[in-house]
Amino acid sequence: MQFMLLFSRQGKLRLQKWYVPLSDKEKKKITRELVQTVLARKPKMCSFLEWRDLKVVYKRYASLYFCCAIENQDNELITLEIIHRYVELLDKYFGSVCELDIIFNFEKAYFILDEFLLGGEAQDTSKKNVLKAIEQADLLQENRPRQFFFLSAQLTTEKPL
Amino acid sequence: MCSCYYSSVWLHVNTGECNLASKHVPLQYLITLHWFETLFLCVFQRMPAPIRLRELIRTIRTARTQAEEREMIQKECAAIRSSFREEDNTYRCRNVAKLLYMHMLGYPAHFGQLECLKLIASQKFTDKRIGYLGAMLLLDERQDVHLLMTNCIKNDLNHSTQYVQGLALCTLGCMGSSEMCRDLAGEVEKLLKTSNSYLRKKAALCAVHVIRKVPELMEMFLPATKNLLSEKNHGVLHTSVVLLTEMCERSPDMLLHFRKLVPQLVRILKNLIMSGYSPEHDVSGISDPFLQVRILRLLRILGRSDDDSSEAMNDILAQVATNTETSKNVGNAILYETVLTIMDIKSESGLRVLAINILGRFLLNNDKNIRYVALTSLLKTVQTDHNAVQRHRSTIVDCLKDLDVSIKRRAMELSFALVNGNNIRGMMKELLYFLDSCDPEFKADCASGVFLAAEKYAPSKRWHIDTIMRVLTTAGSYVRDDSVPNLIQLITNSVEMHAYTVQRLYKALLDDISQQPLVQVSSWCIGEYGDLLVSGQCEEEEPIQVTEDEVLDVLEGLLVSNLSTPVTRGYSLTAIMKLSTRFSSVNRIKKVVSIYSSSIDVELQQRAVEYNALFKKYDHMRPALLERMPIMEKTASNGPTEIMQTNGETEPSVPDTKHLPLVTQPANQANDLLDLLGGNDVVPVIQTTLPTKPASAGGELLDLLGDLSLSGGLAPAPSVPVSQPPFLLDGLSSQPLFNDTSAAIPPMTAYSKNGLKIEFTFERANPNPNIAVITIHATNTTEADMTEFVFQAAVPKTFQLQLLSPSSNIVPALNQGSVTQVIRVLNPQKQQLRMRVKLTYTHKGSPVQDLAEVNNFPPQSWQ
Which pLDDT does position B831 carry in this prediction? 80
Check whether B836 has a pLDDT greater than 90: no
> pLDDT tens digit string along B481-506?
777 888 888 888 888 888 888 888 88
**Which region among B54-68, B193-207, B523-537 has the lowest average model confidence (pLDDT)?**
B523-537
Dihedral sign for Cα atoms in the order B63, B64, B70, B72: negative
Check whether B172 has a pLDDT greater than 90: yes
Which pLDDT does position B34 carry in this prediction? 61
> Contacts of residue A113 in chain B, CB cutoff 8 Å?
none
Q: Are A55 and A76 in contact (CB under 8 A)?
A: yes
* pLDDT level of residue A15 (50, 70, 90 thresholds): very high
B19 Cα to chain A: minimum distance (Å): 6
Question: What are residue B776's DSSP bridge partners?
Answer: B760, B821
Indicate yes or no: pTM above 0.80.
no
Mutate to test the interface with B, among A125, A134, A142, A147 (most CBs of B within 10 A): A125
Among chain B residues, CA nearest to A131: B280
Residues in chain A: 161
Question: What are residue A66's DSSP bridge partners?
Answer: A6, A59
B258 Cα to chain A: minimum distance (Å): 20
Indicate the helix (H) or strand (E) that contains B186: helix B178-192
Which pLDDT does position B697 carry in this prediction? 38
Q: Are B799 and B814 in contact (CB under 8 A)?
A: no
State the burial class of residue B387 (Cβ atoms within 10 Å of its Cβ: 0-12, 13-18, 19+).
Answer: exposed
The average confidence (pLDDT) of chain B is: 80
* pLDDT level of residue B863 (50, 70, 90 thresholds): low
Cβ of B406 within 8 Å of Cβ of A128? The answer is no
Mode of pairing for the β-strands spanning A3-8 and A64-70: antiparallel
Which pLDDT does position B252 carry in this prediction? 93
Choose the closest CB to A161 out of B97, B238, B280: B97
* pLDDT level of residue B41 (50, 70, 90 thresholds): low
Check whether A133 has a pLDDT greater than 90: yes
CB B668: neighbour CB atoms within 10 A? Answer: 8
| Dist. CA B466–CA A52, nearest whole Å | 38
* pLDDT level of residue B40 (50, 70, 90 thresholds): low
Cβ of A14 within 8 Å of Cβ of B104? The answer is yes
Cβ of B174 within 8 Å of Cβ of A19? The answer is yes
> pLDDT tens digit string along A53-80?
899 999 999 999 999 999 999 999 999 9
Mutate to test the interface with A, among B140, B332, B375 (most CBs of A within 10 A): B140
| Strand order through the sheet with B771-780 | B686-687, B800-803, B819-826, B771-780, B756-764, B748-753
Q: Are B623 and B581 in contact (CB under 8 A)?
A: yes
Backbone angles phi, psi at B713, to 5 degrees: 95, 130
B767 cis-preceded (ω within 30 degrees of 0): yes
* Cβ-Cβ contacts under 8 Å for B68 (sequence gap 6 or more): none
Choose the closest CB to A78 out of B9, B290, B404: B290
Q: What would the mean pLDDT of A41-46 be, rounded to a whole number?
A: 86
| Dist. CA A132–CA A138, nearest whole Å | 10
Among chain B residues, CA nearest to A117: B170
Q: Are B685 and B715 in contact (CB under 8 A)?
A: yes
Which pLDDT does position B285 carry in this prediction? 87
Which pLDDT does position B329 carry in this prediction? 93
Among chain A residues, CA nearest to B172: A119
Choose the closest CB to B52 out of A18, A77, A160: A160
Question: What are residue B762's DSSP bridge partners?
Answer: B774
Check whether B819 has a pLDDT greater than 50: yes
| Dist. CA B371–CA B359, nearest whole Å | 8
Which pLDDT does position B543 carry in this prediction? 80
> Contacts of residue B124 in chain A, CB cutoff 8 Å?
142
Q: What would the mean pLDDT of B400-414 be, rounded to a whole number?
A: 87
Write the single-letter amino acid at B39. Answer: L
Task: For chain B, say whether A158 makes contact (Cβ under 8 Å).
Answer: yes
Alpha carbon dihedral B373, B377, B378, B381, in 10-degree steps, equals 180
Which pLDDT does position B78 carry in this prediction? 93
Indicate the helix (H) or strand (E) that contains B127: helix B125-138
Mode of pairing for the β-strands spanning A121-122 and B282-283: unpaired
Among chain B residues, CA nearest to A47: B369
Which pLDDT does position B67 carry in this prediction? 94
Check whether B681 has a pLDDT greater than 50: no
Among chain B residues, CA nearest to A88: B283
Choose the closest CB to B21 out of A14, A76, A155: A155
Provide the phi-psi class of B638: left if phi over 0, else alpha when psi is between -120 and 50, else beta. Answer: left
Q: Are B527 and B626 in contact (CB under 8 A)?
A: no
CB B641: neighbour CB atoms within 10 A? Answer: 18
CB A29: neighbour CB atoms within 10 A? Answer: 12
Task: For chain A, say whether B19 makes contact (Cβ under 8 Å).
Answer: yes
Q: Are B272 and B288 in contact (CB under 8 A)?
A: yes
> Contacts of residue B205 in chain A, CB cutoff 8 Å?
118-119, 121, 123
Mutate to test the interface with A, among B52, B100, B198, B304 (most CBs of A within 10 A): B198
> Contacts of residue A106 in chain B, CB cutoff 8 Å?
100-101, 104
Cβ of A126 within 8 Å of Cβ of B336? The answer is no
Which pLDDT does position B733 carry in this prediction? 36
B828 cis-preceded (ω within 30 degrees of 0): no
* pLDDT level of residue B414 (50, 70, 90 thresholds): very high
State the burial class of residue B542 (Cβ atoms within 10 Å of its Cβ: 0-12, 13-18, 19+).
Answer: exposed
Tell me B47's DSSP state.
Answer: S
Choose the closest CB to A128 out of B17, B33, B280: B280
Q: Distance from CA of residue B269 to its chain's centroid?
A: 40
Q: Distance from CA of residue A58 to its chain's centroid?
A: 13
Indicate the helix (H) or strand (E) that contains B132: helix B125-138
Cβ of A119 within 8 Å of Cβ of B238? The answer is no
Choose the closest CB to A119 out of B20, B129, B209: B209
* Cβ-Cβ contacts under 8 Å for A43 (sequence gap 6 or more): none
A139 Cα to chain B: minimum distance (Å): 9
Task: For chain A, say whether B636 makes contact (Cβ under 8 Å).
Answer: no
Which pLDDT does position B743 carry in this prediction? 52
Which of residues 147 through 206 in chain B touch A, CB cutoff 8 A?
Answer: 161, 163, 166, 169-170, 173-175, 177, 198, 201-202, 205-206
> Contacts of residue A144 in chain B, CB cutoff 8 Å?
90
- Secondary structure class of B847 (helix, strand, coil): strand
**Which region among A3-12, B75-84, B538-547 has the lowest average model confidence (pLDDT)?**
B538-547
| Dist. CA B653–CA B44, nearest whole Å | 99
| Strand order through the sheet with B846-854 | B786-794, B835-843, B846-854
User: Which has more pLDDT, B496 or A39?
Assistant: A39
> Contacts of residue B8 in chain A, CB cutoff 8 Å?
160
Check whether B700 has a pLDDT greater than 60: no
Range among A3-12, B451-460, B542-551 with highest mean pLDDT value:
A3-12
Cβ of A48 within 8 Å of Cβ of B205? The answer is no
> pLDDT tens digit string along B313-350?
999 999 999 999 888 999 999 999 999 999 999 888 89
ipTM of predicted complex: 0.90
* pLDDT level of residue B240 (50, 70, 90 thresholds): very high
| Dist. CA B772–CA B826, nearest whole Å | 6
**SS3 sequence of B271-285:** HHHHCCCCCCCEECC
| Dist. CA B639–CA B648, nearest whole Å | 13
- Nearest CA to A18 out of A34, A3, A33, A1 is that of A3
Alpha helices in B196-306 (DSSP H): 197-213, 234-250, 252-258, 262-274, 289-303
